[in-house]
Structure 1
Amino acid sequence: MGLITFLSDFGYRDHYVAAVKARILQLAPAVPVLDISHGIEPFNIAHAVHVLASVYQDFPAGTVHLVGVNDLGAPRAAWLAAAFQGHYFVTADNGLLPLLCDGRPEQVVVLGAGQAPTSSPTRDLLAPAAVRLAQGELLPELGAAATDVYQLLNRQLRLQDHRITGHVVHVDHYGNLITNITRTAVEVLGRSRPCTIHFARETVRDILPHFQAADPGEAVCIFNSQDQLCIGINQGNASELLGLHFDSQVDVRFPAETT
């Protein structure tokens, strides 16, 4: 018996999360369900991708990840189940899968062909598919192979000899700014050179081990547990104080090498 995780933009005030869990409980009382978050910003695919990508690999192989984000607001009414890196994902065809997998998953099928329309596809279509996968059914048993998946593309780093240009991809609960600049990119392009990080009108000259390594109120850069460059203010909200938000530009610069 597998594990189901549940991620949604349903919030915590209404009955929507409970309704989905009740459906899973009806279908498979023994299948464990673990909440990742239901505080995803409404319809925000980028937020959902960031949260899911940050944690799904920490779960055992074979885990089924049920995603109820923008489940009716997708460009077309279609829902998918997919396999990627030993995990399963069930979600609307809204661009989340290509962003999560940085392209196309290893295997994708279409769910609910011929099923009557529903006002709650996460409860009525995605949850039953997640249960079937958790109980050991194979993807081809859930539907026909998807021939066309709605595509959204991740922002790519711009690499030059002495500069990496990236962007903020998420602002967390504390106002910390998570970028798409990776430790690997800094180390490979930097070639052991010192670097400076530039954002807004600020310059930071060191990457520290954690936010509290700086003085209170001071801007600080770290690599998080996913090896992404992050900008914060010790005991402050970096997004508000620096005026930076999703998609704001961040540069890492290196001195020119001398011969």
Structure 2
Amino acid sequence: MAIITLTTDFGEKDHFAGAIKGAIYKEIENVVVVDISHTVDPFNIQEAAYIIQNAYKSFPDGSIHIIGVDSELTPENKHIAVFLNNHYFICADNGIVSILATEFNPEKIVEINIHDRVESIFPALDIFAKVAAHIARGGTLEVIGKLIKGIKPVKELAPLINNEQNQISGSVIYIDNYGNVITNITRKLFDTVRKGRDFELYARNHQFTVIHNKYSDAINFNIEKSRREDDGKKLAVFNSGGFIEIAVYRSNLNTVGGASTLLGLRYRDTVTIKFL
């Protein structure tokens, strides 16, 4: 049975997400529709890419992923369907796939060309759902689009390495539900540039000299619990997606706060690592 996932910026209040599910089931009943997220910040393709990048690999090969973020059809925002790493992605050519393709090159890309057959002002409902159902029925990409070679690149949030190879300048790309701040600096890039050197990580006025492998590594469990000052401890960690994350141990935005609030970090803020 085919799996179709949904990642959108539609939120939970409106009818949009439910309507897409209905449209998919209307096209093909023998399918499973899974919500990944509907709370992507509006039009934030970097955030959408981070969420789908860390979710899609948990699904079986052949899964179909609809990304309804910044998806209005314009001369500069074509609709595409992509086969990448044994998964299908249906979205606008707005840079999302180029972010997903940093690890794997797309095996096939088509520009969707069924718009003349479908009247649409809501692409994720009218176009993406039909394309997903077509793929779920075993249809090929060439039937719903024309083969193209390139996709729109997004380089503005890529980490920068200086000429001396002793500094990485990255950016905040995502803030999670706990207020943890995720950067675009991967563990792979960090290890490649570091070459065993000591380092200092700067996020606004805060400095870190250790990056932990898990949150609890920042806590000294040999100290009596009442003296540890666990909650609210600031730390840097390699998260489950392989990115450097600035976090607060056992954070809660309603009590102790999170890294985003306590450190004053926001989307696109700079995070710098200096190698000594």
Common fold, TM-score beyond 0.5? yes
Distance 1:9 1:211, change over 3 A: same
Structure 2 alignment gaps of length 5 or more: 220-229, 252-256
Match of 2:176 in 1: 172
> Deviations 1:13-52 (Å, cap 9, x if unpaired)?
1111111111111111111111101111112111111101
Structure 2 Cα separation of the partners of residues 67 and 156 of structure 1:
21
1:68-107 correspondence to structure 2 within 5 Å = 68-72=68-72, 76=76, 78-102=78-102, 105-107=106-108
Distance 1:74 1:198, change over 3 A: farther
Q: Is the 8 A contact 2:10 2:16 kept in 1?
A: yes
1:47 partner amino acid: E
Deviation at 1:116, TM superposition (A): 4.6
Query: SS at the partner of 1:72?
Result: coil
CA distance in 2, matches of 1:113, 1:119: 10
1:125 partner SS = helix
Q: 1:240 to 1:75 in 2, by over 3 A?
A: farther
> Structure 1, residues 50-80: CA drift from partner, whole Å, max 9, x if none?
1011111121111110111122275646311
Determine if the alignment matches structure 1 residue 198 to structure 2 residue 179.
no
Residue 226 in structure 1 maps to residue 241 in structure 2: yes
| 2:165 aligned with 1:161 | yes
* 1:80 counterpart SS class: strand
Contact 2:82–2:88 (Cα < 8 Å) also in 1: yes
Q: State the alpha-carbon separation in 2 of the partners of residues 41 and 167 from structure 1.
A: 17
**What code does the residue aligned with 1:152 have?**
V
Cross-structure match for 2:254:
none
Which position in structure 2 is the counterpart of 1:249?
270
Output the amino acid matched with 2:266. Answer: H
TM-score by length of 1: 0.90
Change (3 A) 1:105 1:31: same
Amino acid at match of 1:67: I
Q: How big is the alpha-carbon RMSD for the aligned residues of Structure 1 and Structure 2?
A: 2.1
Map of 1:19 onto structure 2? 19
Where does residue 37 of structure 1 map in the other structure?
37
How many equivalent residue pairs?
A: 255
Match of 2:121 among 119, 122, 129: 119
1:78-98 CA-to-partner distances (Å, cap 9, x unmatched) read 311111111101112322222
Give the letter for the 2:160 counterpart.
R
* Alpha-carbon separation, structure 2, partners of 1:78 and 1:184: 32
Deviation at 1:151, TM superposition (A): 3.7
Q: Structure 1 residues 77, 170: CA separation in 2 closer, same or farther (over 3 Å shift)?
A: closer
Task: Give me the TM-score of the superposition, normalised by structure 2.
Answer: 0.85
Residue of structure 2 in register with 1:144 after alignment:
146
Aligned with 1:141: secondary structure?
helix
Q: Which runs of 5+ in 1 are unaligned?
A: none
Q: Closer, same or farther in 2 for the Cα pair 1:152/1:187, shift >3 Å?
A: closer
Q: Choose which of 174, 188, 192 in structure 2 pairs with 1:188.
A: 192
